[in-house]
Structure 1
Amino acid sequence: MSDVVLEKALELGKLIANSEKYKTMREKEAAMMSDADAVALIEKFQHLQHSHQMMRMQGHELTDEQLNEVYALEDQMMANPLIREFAEIQDQFQKFLNQVNERISEGIEGNPPETHSCSACGPYT
């Protein structure tokens, strides 16, 4: 029985990989990653995140100035149309995966989505 489940899981993965949502997300990602300005902003943001994470791991609190730097860089990133478009489609794809997981849970638990109360999963669409 577990072989059948794993086979179906692989089949589901392939169906997801062939979905328009996934293909569109990958197209937007490729466009974003081919743009030098977008890549520079992403790398700057990742470096800043890593730096702040290291500070927190060492027991330091982030100052308001450091937090504002993060927020300003996030705003700058979202002002880049390629980054914004990728972030939007990535969010839509994540919601789609949440719906898939919800249906799997429904199959396991036998609870229809209407009775589910996990606010972290977001609304059903």
Structure 2
Amino acid sequence: MDQIEEIMRKSTELGKSIALTPMYKDFKKAEHDLLHNPEARKLVEDLQKMKQEHYGKQAAGIELSKEEQDAMTELENVCLKNPQVLISNNANTKFQEFMEQISKNIKDGIKSIEKI
């Protein structure tokens, strides 16, 4: 097996290991529960739509008004008051932090070889 094939095999094994962690399982359950909760799902969809609209304006060089910024903050607060959205947000945050740490460790491994 050549070096690239070995790396691909190891990355697949890493993916399988990640899928067995409590953080991944919590993330997937929270995601599933959110998708099957119409009220929570609508809140998140509305927030995502608003964020996309704001991003589009900013990308076009249009500054958001105070009212638009306040509306975003208010919708974020409403979302986080919904128990299912809060659970999903927390599970997603923990899983993303976990994945960032894995990525950092991979980068550290690369850097350690570069120093040699």
TM-score bracket for this pair, using the shorter chain length: 0.7 to 0.9
State the 1:107 CA deviation. Answer: 1.9
**Structure 1, unaligned runs of 5 or more:** 112-125
Larger RCO, structures 1/2 (Cα 8 Å, 6+ apart): 2
Superimposed CA distance per residue, residues 83-123 of structure 1 (whole angstroms, 9 cap, x where no aligned partner): 11111111111111122122222222228xxxxxxxxxxxx
Amino acid at match of 1:67: Q
- The structure whose residues are more often helix, as a share, is 2
Correspondence for 1:122: none
List, as ranges, runs of 4+ consecutive aligned residues in structure 1 with deviation greater than 4 Å: none
The TM-score normalised by the length of structure 2 is 0.87
Moved more, 73-82 or 93-102: 93-102
Amino acid at match of 2:59: M
Would you say how many aligned residue pairs link Structure 1 and Structure 2? 111
Aligned equivalents of 2:74, 2:84: Cα separation in 1: 18
**Structure 2, unaligned runs of 5 or more:** none
Q: Does 1:62 align with 2:64?
A: yes
State the 1:25 CA deviation. Answer: 0.6
What is the aligned counterpart of 1:91 among 77, 84, 93? 93
Amino acid at match of 1:8: K
What is the aligned counterpart of 2:44 among 37, 42, 45? 42
The TM-score normalised by the length of structure 1 is 0.81
Aligned equivalents of 1:13, 1:27: Cα separation in 2: 18
Aligned equivalents of 1:105, 1:52: Cα separation in 2: 33
Identity within the alignment, %: 27
Aligned equivalents of 1:55, 1:5: Cα separation in 2: 42
CA RMSD of aligned residues (A): 1.5
